Structure 1
Amino acid sequence: MIFKTKMYWSFAQAVLLAGASQLAIARDIIIPKPPQVAAKAYILIDAQTGHVLIEEQADSQLPPASLTKIMTSYIVSEEVARGDLSEQDKVYITDDAWRRGGTSSGGSTMFLKPRTEVEVIDLLRGVIIQSGNDASIALAQHIAGSEGAFADVMNQTATLLGMQNTHFKNATGWPAEGHLTTARDLALLAQATIYDHPDHYGLYAEQSFTYNGIKQDNRNSLLFRDSSVDGLKTGHTEAAGYCLVATADKEGMRLISVVLGTRSKEARAVESQKLLSYGFRYYSTHTAIKGQQPLLDERIWQGLNKQVSLGVIDDITLTIPRGASDKLEMVTTVDDTIKAPVAVGQPLGTLAITYDGETLYQGSLVALYDVEQSGFFARLWDSLMLFINGLLS
């Protein structure tokens, strides 16, 4: 990484930087145009940073079909995390859940038996792996009393997650007027599913689940083709077309792809694989700066210490082209006069990280530790020095 600050560079440093610049030119990074994707809408993001690599019609509202069940599962996981629900709790399967989501409904089903009790964890597998409408309705009724009330919880949760263009009418994704979402919103939901509930996220990678003597394979065919893929969910209705939210982890980078409205089961897998392959081939997730590590040591006046270390509290992680880590530029500015007392985390300057003229990060440089004021006479002396420096400058 190239550092730029307010300090003056020596001639030797200038020569080194010039040499580094020539080397960078010799190793220009080539990134081709994104692939053409046959879908009504799609997006590819870096799961860790949220950086969008590719998007097309990502904010167009479309029916999500069974991708809805990612939200249904997320809410169940939230209930378990809060302690309001246990994985071993028994859920009563109502006649309504069986009638609208069971064998005779014509939709995907877990093959639950009406008027039986089933553990939450089994129903969660039924929702995620088998895309069971019956399991989704049963969980919704158990948690909120009715599927309609559960839809209200879904919409409130969507708002909290920043899903600005989403509205749910049911827990299954069964076609309903106004039941819509977007590729971008689904990427946000997938991101929350992965990082908020890692204990349950592993269910999305399970390739099959057997219940009531019936084994069903996970409908996400990428799980069987690509070992880096470990989720998430498929969807299909006539109105929605064939949809897939997929995620994969490779060499420390996790990507999330969303494709909506493809023409077939095979197409949704192929188009998703195009996005994932492009992202992994040409980009990487890079920790540019470690948190808590000093970037600069600056003079502090009227303090028990003569210097204070500046840096960032948390790691700064960026999505960058592969091979570009040595071409990042870090530009820092520091307050002209820093006086004690200073508290850890107090902003004392700014930090910008750029690549090829584009600002990838901009934020504050902060104190990495507290600095207390010095005694009266020491402060008085520093005040005099500051006054003299002001006259001379």
Structure 2
Amino acid sequence: MPVGQIFEAAIKQRLSLALRPLVLLLALLGALNSASAAPSFETVAPTAVLVDHDTHAILFDKNADERYPPASLAKLMTVELLFRELKEGRISLDDEFPVSERAWREGGAQSGGSTMFLPVNSSVSVRDLIRGIVIQSGNDATIVVAEALGGTEEKFAEQMTERAKALGMTDSTFRNSHGLPDPEQRVTMRDLAVLASHLIREYPEFYKYFGEEEFTYNEITQRNRNPLLDMGADGLKTGYTSEAGYGLVASVERDSRRLIVAVGHLSSASARTEEARKLVEWGFRSFENRTLHQADDQVGEMEVLGGAAATVPVVVRSGVVVTVPRGAEDLHTILHRDEPLQAPVAEGDRVGWLQVVSAGDVIREDPVHAAAAVEPASFVSRTWGLATSYLWSTWDDTWAFVFPPKEVASTGSP
């Protein structure tokens, strides 16, 4: 490349670099000025959270990190360990587990709690145990699972807590498989929402059992206790004890959107149903998902020092979808580099990250990768580049710029 062209390119590159902080500032100020008020919601539920399953956006949060007794919501952790054993091939749906005297005595009909009515010293298939837990909420069924997978109820509870921590449920502790009162057994609604999303995402072949309306075992038919099935819910679980009050974790899918609601410590079953239903309807009505970029979309370019090419195109590997208030117009994306790029750059290298900004807040971050390889420049070009870098060394080297989303497509409009 002629020296004149190299010099001209260097000047343009550095001027662009110097102006980018100003562009960023103006864009963020514009976002703040045009910010639309976030939708508001009130609930009598002492603790509640509403989450978009696909984007992980928290749409509503009321005391979601308060620790409460889980009641039968603890059974969601029990089935997670059971589903994991199935998925990893250590057990099968046709395997049969024995019903111990303890399971029959502490979880059977004479216990006065929710039960699957398992006969003592019988055996029951894993398939039926799943239904007995997620549809009938059988305490006896959970004890059977605990003893089969953990050896004892106590050992299995330790595994439940350990697994919960691994899933990011940092504020939950389990002491039994069924959720009956224990002073050390506590969960949060946020943790239960995390667990629900995990169950839906990781175990679709077993999650389907949550949506069955009834199950008959030992000639006794029991209905699914999920009160939101009639509005499109396909899972998950209710819970109640006098200590815990009435709780619910449920998931509703509508028009390609899925919301997860968790409410707890309510005073009645009707209040639990009403508050959860209102919260879900508000979530679908007040928010929408927008696709800003498809997988492998180019989202910008980054300067490469000492490269045969002055810049390299960068892409996001997965789609960028965000949940925002309906009608929001203040979305911006900001591209950052991890560090100054020095040739050579290999195709696929992570080179920075993309932020999505709404109303002045960062609502999502995604890594970006080089879409092409950049080889080192020739000796002459490298020498000139070093010289110009020295001359311009006092200029601000902030590498961030703003541009409107390439594609904004609304989905899931109820």
Within 5 Å, which residues of 2 pair with 1:46-195?
A: 46-195=52-201
Q: Is the 8 A contact 1:341 1:370 kept in 2?
A: yes
Work out the percentage of aligned pairs sharing the same amino acid: 36
Would you say 1:38 and 2:41 are equivalent positions? Answer: no
Within 5 Å, which residues of 2 pair with 1:206-355?
A: 206-223=212-229, 225-227=230-232, 229-298=233-302, 300=304, 303=307, 307-324=311-328, 326-333=329-336, 338-355=341-358
Give the Cα separation in 1 of the matches to 2:66 and 2:335. Answer: 39
SS at match of 2:324: strand
The aligned residue for residue 384 of structure 1 is 383
Would you say 1:359 and 2:359 are equivalent positions? Answer: no
Give the Cα separation in 1 of the matches to 2:327 and 2:162. Answer: 41
Give the Cα separation in 1 of the matches to 2:338 and 2:94. Answer: 57
| Gap runs ≥5 in structure 1 | 10-16
Give the Cα separation in 2 of the matches to 1:203 and 1:140. Answer: 19
Structure-2-length-normalised TM-score:
0.82
Q: Is the 8 A contact 1:39 1:260 kept in 2?
A: yes
SS at match of 1:318: strand
Q: Is the 8 A contact 2:300 2:335 kept in 1?
A: no
Deviates more, 1:278-287 or 1:113-122: 278-287
- Rate the CA distance shift 1:342–1:56 in 2: closer, same or farther, 3 A: same
Structure-1-length-normalised TM-score:
0.86
Deviates more, 1:242-251 or 1:307-316: 307-316
Give the Cα separation in 1 of the matches to 2:240 and 2:339. Answer: 60
The one-letter code matched in structure 2 to 1:295 is V
The one-letter code matched in structure 1 to 2:164 is A
The one-letter code matched in structure 1 to 2:354 is L
- Rate the CA distance shift 1:356–1:56 in 2: closer, same or farther, 3 A: same
The one-letter code matched in structure 2 to 1:332 is L
Give the Cα separation in 2 of the matches to 1:144 and 1:336. Answer: 48
Shift of 1:302: 5.0
Deviates more, 1:349-358 or 1:119-128: 349-358
Q: How many residues align?
A: 369
Quote the RMSD (CA, aligned, Å).
Answer: 2.6
The one-letter code matched in structure 2 to 1:220 is N
SS at match of 1:287: strand
The one-letter code matched in structure 2 to 1:221 is P
| Gap runs ≥5 in structure 2 | 1-15, 21-26, 393-414
Give the Cα separation in 2 of the matches to 1:206 and 1:71. Answer: 19
The one-letter code matched in structure 1 to 2:220 is I
The one-letter code matched in structure 2 to 1:212 is N
Deviations along 1:184-235, one digit per CA (max 9) or x if unpaired, are 1111111111112111111111111111111111001210x202x1111000
Give the Cα separation in 1 of the matches to 2:39 and 2:334. Answer: 29
- Rate the CA distance shift 1:392–1:174 in 2: closer, same or farther, 3 A: closer
